[in-house]
Each structure stands twice: as C-alpha cells, then as structure tokens.
C-alpha cells in the first residue's frame, strides 16, 4: 500500500514538472513572438499613415514654394515688359522658358532619376541667371516692384536646399518604417500591400 502511494506521488510530481516545463516553454515562445512582432497590424497602419502624411506635407510645402518662385518670375517679367527700352524678344524667350519649367519638374517617383532633378535645377538656374542682370543691372532694379520681385526670388531660391533636407528626413523615416514593418503592411492588403520606398534627394542615400 505504501509503495502504491509513493508511486502515485512520484507520478503526480513528474506530471507537475512536465506542466511547469510546458508553461515555461510557452511563455518563452510567446515572448519571442512579441519581440518579433511588437505591434499589431492596426497600430502599424496608424503609425505608417502618420509618417506618410508627414512626407506628403513636406513635399507639398516644397512644391508650393517652387510654384511661388515660378509665379514671382512671371510677375517680374511682366513688370519688365512694361518698362521702356527693354529687349522684348529676350523677355519673351524668358517667359517661354519659365512656362515650360512646371511641365519639366520631377515628382515623388520620377525623382529617382537624379538626372531629372539636375535638368530641372539647371533649367531654372539658367533662367534666373539670365533674368537677374536684366531686372537689376549692376544690382539696381529699375522699379520698386522689380526690386521686390528680385529679392523675393532670391529668398525662395535660397530656401530650396532646406525644403529638400526636410523632405529627405521625413522620407527616410517612412522608408525605414516600411522596411521594418512590411509584413504587417502587406497583411492589410489594398494600397498597403503595394507600398514602396521613396527616392531621396540625398545622393547615395538608402
């Protein structure tokens, strides 16, 4: 009878040890799963949308500034055409060059080709370099409006690099989050399954 009782006790102890081992194993597996997937797909979607909105805002601010530069250039040329003694043919040529710029401008995808960015920058720089000596020869503009337009253009042109730095910073955060959470985003389907990294202005950046 004693032997039977001890046998039952030993069996119960072994069973308890097995259960404890299984529980510990399950806990370890659960912890590992939590480390590999720290956020739910819904949480990933929310954060991803925030990062995408930030990228879009930075892009919109940059493009609006460039649109303003094109508009001020147009106003300056109109101001110059009203002044006596101006070279009408040259001003018309500059007007045409300014009107073509918007169609030549890169977008968030085509800027993957750095050649397109360089071509646009070169075309705009060439236009402004040809315009400034006409609008303000020897640094002196013929009218107050012309002087204000020239100063406005110079300020807008000086801000280009800053806008690109801010955009790159937001796009890099977006790309890093996309790389880290691509499985969760793909599980959402729709547009989230097809998202791709965005190109950056920074040469050689990943």
> Does any domain span residue 205?
no
Task: Kindly state whether residue 36 falls inside one of the protein's structural domains.
Answer: no
Residues 6+ apart with CB under 8 A from 195: 48, 178, 185
pLDDT in tens, 16-37: 333 344 333 333 344 333 343 5
CB atoms within 10 A of CB 16: 10
Report the alpha-carbon distance of residue 170 to residue 205 in Å, rounded. 13
As a whole-number percent, the residues of the chain with pLDDT over 90 amount to 72
Whether 8 maps to a domain, the answer reads no
Q: Is the pLDDT of residue 6 over 70?
A: no
Structure tokens at 17: 């040890």
How many domains would you assign to the chain?
A: 1
* Higher local confidence (pLDDT), 20 or 115: 115
Q: Which domain holds residue 77?
A: 42-194
- Residue 127's contacts (CB-CB under 8 Å, 6 or more residues apart) are 73, 94, 97, 98, 101
Residue 183 domain flag: yes
| Backbone torsion region of residue 85, taken as left when φ is above 0, otherwise alpha when ψ lies between -120 and 50, otherwise beta | left
Tell whether 23 is covered by a domain. Answer: no
């Amino acid at each position: 009878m004693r032997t039977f009782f001890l046998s039952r006790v030993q069996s119960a102890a072994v069973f308890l040890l097995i259960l404890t081992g299984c529980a510990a194993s399950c806990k370890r597996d659960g912890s590992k799963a939590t480390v590999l997937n720290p956020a739910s797909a819904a949480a990933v979607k929310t954060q991803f949308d925030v990062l995408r909105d930030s990228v879009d805002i930075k892009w919109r601010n940059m493009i609006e500034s460039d649109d303003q530069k094109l508009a001020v250039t147009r106003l300056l040329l109109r101001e110059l055409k009203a002044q006596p003694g101006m070279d009408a043919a040259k001003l018309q040529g500059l007007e045409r060059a300014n009107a073509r710029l918007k169609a030549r401008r890169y977008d968030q995808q085509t800027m993957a080709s750095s050649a397109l960015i360089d071509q646009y920058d070169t075309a705009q720089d060439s236009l402004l370099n040809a315009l400034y000596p006409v609008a303000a020869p020897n640094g002196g503009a013929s009218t107050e409006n012309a002087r204000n337009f020239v100063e406005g253009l110079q300020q807008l042109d000086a801000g280009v690099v800053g806008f690109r730095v801010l955009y790159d910073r937001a796009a890099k955060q977006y790309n890093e989050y996309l790389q880290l959470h691509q499985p969760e985003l793909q599980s959402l389907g729709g547009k989230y399954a097809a998202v791709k990294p965005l190109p950056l202005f920074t040469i050689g950046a990943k």
